[in-house]
Chains A and B, each alone.
Chain A
Amino acid sequence: MSNTVIFTALASGVIVWFLIASRLTAKSWESQDEKGDVGAIHTAPERIGLWIFMAVVTSLFSLFISAYAMRMHVGAWCHITIPNILWVNSLVLVAASIAMQRARWAADHGSRSGARAALVMGGMLSVAFLAGQLVAWQQVGPSVYFISGSPAIAFFYVLSAAHGLHLIGGLWVLGRTVSRFAAGAELVDLRLSLQLCSVYWHFLLLVWLVVFGVLLYL
């Protein structure tokens, strides 16, 4: 649980810092002017929503990993043999993340076709990653191991499934963005979506790399 506590401490630190930065020290009964924090912060609500959602997902995976770390010291544990395809999958996900970043850059530079191509490429690479994960599931062992094998294998299934589901959620949003593209939406209107998609993809890449690292080294 110690890494969960560290995460919580960090999260609380960020929150407290934010609140202090937002003039939590103000003496509200005295202040008469409207300078400074006058209400809404000037960021799109979707952006704030995404960051909060990523905090929730971080909490979820931190707890899964804490559970993994605690469980491995208890008993009947042996490490999982990592199937080689996971290295390929990781590279595919890195490529997907780069493609999403390129879509964002292309949109910033006003290149509609470039943005669309990169976006579709990012989506396809992500689907390829998911397919690769399914292959990895097969290679880890027949499903009977899920039940009677080491809990490390069960953890691998659970962690990769949880990560995959979050990626599928991202693909759903990506699909909506692509369909808005197809419907002829202005690039300016799509920029926020592209930015948020790329942030989410980088985040999921980071989560995957941490999960992969845990499976490899912990």
Chain B
Amino acid sequence: MAYVAIADRDAPIHDPHTFFLKYIWSQDHKVIAIQYAIVAISVGLVALVLSGLMRLQLGFPGTFHFIEPQDYYQFITMHGMIMVIYLLTALFLGGFGNYLIPLMCGARDMVFPYMNMLSFWVYLLAVLVLMASFFVPGGPTGAGWTLYPPQAITQGTPGAGLGIILMLISLGIFIVAFTMGGLNYVTTVLQARCRGMTLMRMPLSVWGIFMATILGLLAFPALLVSAVMMTLDSTLGTSFFMPAVMSLGEKLGHNGGSPLLFQHLFWFFGHPEVYIVALPAFGIVSDLLSTHARKNIFGYRMMVWAIIAIGGLSFVVWAHHMYVSGMNPYFGFFFATTTLIIAIPTAIKVYNWVLTLWKGDIHLTVPMMFAIGFIFTFIHGGLTGLFLGNVTVDLPLSDTYFVVAHFHMVMGVSPILVVFGAIYHWFPKITGRMWNQKLGMVHFWMTFLGTYAIYLPMHYLGILGVPRRYYALGNTDFIPDSVHSINAAITISALIVAAAQLVFLFNMIMSLRKGEKAPPNPWRATTLEWQTPDTPPKHGNWGPKLPVVHRWAYDYSVPGAKEDFIPQNEPVDPKLGAGRDHGTHR
């Protein structure tokens, strides 16, 4: 191993000197985190452009002739897959996970730095393979992000040749990358915490990332299994998923395969995937709210247990994505029940966030605005989830814009708001520079109000019965004119939100170059990453001595304390104690 990652060893720290080893072929978790983040955000911008193109078609059908129906399906598919896997999963775990776990746990690095580095490069390879599918004959796959067979690999679907193969290969490569990273994150949390950092003193960000990684490690194999078998169906003509099909007047060679089997496997991965994205967001938002409200997180233990319960339950709800698939209807009852049960720990978390704000000394900083914005969008998306979790409500709504509105609220907007909040929050530590607050606020309000303007009307479209996945609605009796006006308005909002992201990028670049120099702990936070000797932290994070933790991560506004926060590594003052046991009410 190149340098020490284990808490209780005090060997010298290896320090790479060349530019190449320091910033490119680097084993430093912070550099790897930034590499992950840059690639994820770049590929996310591609997906954002694709969504803009889709919206142009939907808002102004017939105006943009360069968007053909097959292009539209390719945009949908690539937008969905990129956003869910290559942006959100990679950014939360590869980006924030990599940056925060060692720093928040008081470790020098991940326990397997070399494998961590490989994880990034393999991820980059997965992204490049996926991007390559834009340039192959037939273009990328247009099967929808769920890639359901038989249509995904049947002629007539865009990209049914090379496009889908590259997608499946890219997913396989991504899973290898994720497994290498995931082994690191879990082992580091279990093994490399510094002295005094008990599991129940870990910040909730680490808890969320930790649990999400465990989910990913157990769930991604389902995607791998389905990708391998679909690749074989497509290339060698096996019949795992492919039933006997007549295609363009010809009988294909497949016989007896089960498309439903694919759906089970896909959603056995796909539902935990929702929480792979949501749990890190839950954790990070808890820390943002607590820090910027200067108040301990309400119900820390309950928050941890809720994360664990959500993680466990997320494996037994997958078929609620399949109510209309033709599976045995008795399954519906079981999966509706488990789906509604998972609302309980989730609701506990929401209550605890709100109660954390209650009577707090709320500082409306940019990260705090995004965190509060998240509570709104998440409650909104969560409530529509209760609708869709019930079979009888889901059946009529399943193929409408209601579902699009629901999952974008809960899985698109909510985690992205947390991503922004987290970037604004940790940017000073990562770069040593402060943001321009005013531009940050502009970015927040444009994004927050803009996304509401996009997705709120979509619920209405869904209730009207407007079908999703359609390239153009045409003249259908049950679709009133107002739908077309709403679609145009949604498109304009979407373009405004996209433009707002340019403000974010501009602000980031300007702050990097000319931003005010950041103090080591600008938010006066308690967690370890703000207590490093250098800002940004140097290779090895802690200088010669590792920190020792004496308290939990949420000692804010302790009565009698000098300041309104006590860092985790500050020894316990016998006169003051460690917090609540002194009968304080905070």
Residues of A within 8 A of B (CB): 1, 4-5, 8, 11-12, 15-16, 19, 22-32, 34, 36-41, 43, 45, 48-49, 52-53, 55-56, 59-60, 63-64, 67, 70-71, 74-77, 146-148, 151, 154-155, 158, 162
Contacts and interface: CB of A to CB of B under 8 A. Distances in A.
B118 to A, nearest CB: 14
Contacts of A26: 198-200
A39 B257 contact: no
Given A147-B237, A151-B238, A8 B580 contact: no
B245 interface: no
Contacts of B122: none
Given A37-B198, A71-B257, 11 more contacts: A11-B218, A28-B198, A29-B551, A40-B190, A41-B190, A43-B191, A49-B112, A49-B187, A59-B221, A67-B225, A158-B228
B240 A28 contact: no
B224 interface: yes
Contacts of A36: 198
Nearest to B586: A29
28 contacts: A1-B264, A5-B315, A8-B316, A11-B218, A19-B199, A23-B200, A25-B301, A28-B201, A29-B578, A29-B579, A30-B581, A32-B551, A32-B572, A38-B196, A48-B186, A49-B111, A52-B183, A52-B186, A59-B218, A67-B265, A70-B261, A70-B264, A71-B261, A74-B261, A76-B257, A147-B238, A154-B232, A158-B229
B316 A29 contact: no
Contacts of B265: 63, 67
A40 B201 contact: no
Interface in B135-152: none
A40 B198 contact: no
Interface string B218-240: 11011011001100100011111
A73 to B, nearest CB: 9
Nearest to B309: A16
Contacts of A25: 301
B578 A39 contact: no
Contacts of B268: 1, 4, 63
A53 B315 CA distance: 19
Interface in B397-453: none
B199 A8 contact: no
Contacts of A75: 243, 255-256, 258
Nearest to A60: B221
B248 to A, nearest CB: 20
A32 B550 contact: yes
A30 B580 contact: yes
B57 interface: no
Interface of B: 5-8, 106, 111-112, 179, 182-183, 186-188, 190-201, 214, 217-219, 221-222, 224-225, 228-229, 232, 236-240, 243, 253, 255-258, 261, 264-265, 268, 296, 300-301, 304-305, 308, 311-312, 315-316, 549-552, 554-555, 572, 577-581
Contacts of A22: 198-199
Contacts of B300: 28-29
A32 B577 contact: yes
A158 B232 contact: yes
B256 A74 contact: yes
Q: Is the interface of A mostly helix, strand, loop or mixed?
A: helix
Given A12-B315, A40-B6, A64-B225, A19 B256 contact: no
Contacts, number: 186
Contact of B579 (A30, A34, A52, A77): A30
B544 to A, nearest CB: 18
A12 B313 CA distance: 9
Contacts of B305: 24
Contact of B253 (A1, A23, A53, A147): A147
Contact of A70 (B182, B258, B578): B258
A56 B179 contact: yes
B312 A63 contact: no
Given A67-B240, A158-B232, A39 B197 contact: yes
A55 B217 contact: yes
Nearest to A18: B190
Contacts of A148: 237, 253
Given A12-B312, A37-B198, A71 B240 contact: yes
A23 B197 CA distance: 12
B299 to A, nearest CB: 11
Nearest to B179: A56
Nearest to B211: A15
Contacts of B214: 15
Given A30-B579, A55-B218, A39 B198 contact: yes
A36 B196 CA distance: 9
Contacts of B243: 75
A7 B550 CA distance: 38
A146 B233 CA distance: 10
A53 to B, nearest CB: 6
Nearest to B574: A32
Contacts of A146: 236, 238
Closest 5 CB pairs of A and B: A76-B256, A75-B256, A60-B221, A28-B552, A45-B111
A29 B554 contact: yes
A155 B256 CA distance: 14
Contacts of B5: 45
A76 B254 CA distance: 10
A155 B576 CA distance: 65
B258 A39 contact: no
A4 B304 CA distance: 26
A171 to B, nearest CB: 18
A8 B554 CA distance: 33
B315 A45 contact: no
B217 A48 contact: no
Contacts of B555: 29
B236 A52 contact: no
A71 B218 CA distance: 22
A54 to B, nearest CB: 11
A154 B238 contact: yes
Contact of B195 (A5, A23, A38): A38
Nearest to B318: A1
B260 to A, nearest CB: 8
A8 B239 contact: no
